[in-house]
A = this chain, B = another copy of it.
Amino acid sequence: MYLQLSTWQEVEVYLERSKAVLIPIGSTEQHGPNGFIGTDALCPEILARGIEAEIGCLVAPTLPIGMAQHHLGFSGSITLRPTTLIAVVQDVVDSLARHGFERFYFLNGHGGNIATVSAAFSEIYAEASLGKADPKRPPLRCKLKNWWENAAVQRISKERFGNAEGGHATCSEVSLTYYGYPQHRKNAEMSPEIAPTGPIYDSADYRLRFPDGRIGSNPALASVEAGKVLFEGAVPFLAADFRAFAEAH
């Protein structure tokens, strides 16, 4: 069930059976020579479709812009400042809580979002903890789940890509988006084959360390077929994880 394609009456009916909602959250940022700028938004969006097909959970629209300041040295990358993203997450949760939602499962496609979205959850909880939230509001629970953190993806990635998987513009995420958008996949030479690794500071520093945008990966190995395998491996795991979160006491 997709929030964007539902009526408000249908959402009312959904709330009778579940207080949980799945919110894909991504980023719009460079992903190297053959990765889509939308990779980090498309991955959770693609997986959310699989999860929805399996368990019928409500899927909110994907939040396509994340915290990606370090990628601003590459054309097309967009960031929200952390304080902006905190406000966005807070408003989305506050709005849905008005209708009775209590469990917010953010399916995340971008490592750079983790700290800021976690801080946003604390900002939301702090409102209740400091006595500033509506005292009649039921307690809220938020969870950030990185789609790649599950046994299936870890295993497939290791088997297929080994040490070419990398940390940014990874083989897995590029494969998953190729599976979702096969007609858009790209060919590009990777030089060096496996990109360098290192720490992340600001965007100028990032561009110097990682000249084509990749970190530690060789996404020339990405394929539609691998994406399909990843999708089919990840969906059951994530569906179960969502359900566990939705139903936990």
Question: Is A237's CB within 8 Å of the partner chain B?
Answer: no
Interface residue A215 (Cβ < 8 Å from any Cβ of B): no
How many angstroms between the C-alpha atoms of A136 and B118 in the bound complex? 30
Q: Which residues of B contact A38 (CB under 8 A)?
A: 2-5, 61
For the complex, is A87 an interface residue (Cβ under 8 Å from B)? yes
Is residue A123 contacting chain B, with contact meaning CB distance below 8 A? Answer: yes
The answer to whether the Cβ of A202 comes within 8 Å of any Cβ in the partner chain is yes
In-complex Cβ contact of A203 among B78, B80, B128 (8 A): B128
Contact A139–B202 (Cβ < 8 Å): yes
Our pick among B37, B79, B114 for the contact of A6 (Cβ within 8 Å) is B37
Q: How far is the CA of A8 from the CA of B36 in the complex (A)?
A: 8
Which residues 76-129 of A have a CB within 8 angstroms of B? Answer: 76-84, 86-88, 90-92, 94-96, 98-100, 112, 114-116, 118-120, 122-123, 125-126, 128-129
Tell me whether A134 and B132 are in contact (CB under 8 A): yes
Closest residue of B by beta carbon distance from A87: B84
CB pair A130 B72 closer than 8 Å: yes
Interface residues on A, range: 35 or more
Say which residue of B30, B33, B87 sits within 8 Å of A83 (CB atoms).
Answer: B87
For A204, give its contact among B31, B41, B96, B139 (CB under 8 Å).
B139
Residues of B within 8 A of A64 (CB): 4, 61-64
- Verify B128–A4 contact, CB threshold 8 A: no
Given A8-B76, A116-B122, output 5 extra A-B contacts at Cβ < 8 Å.
A11-B75, A84-B91, A115-B122, A139-B202, A140-B201
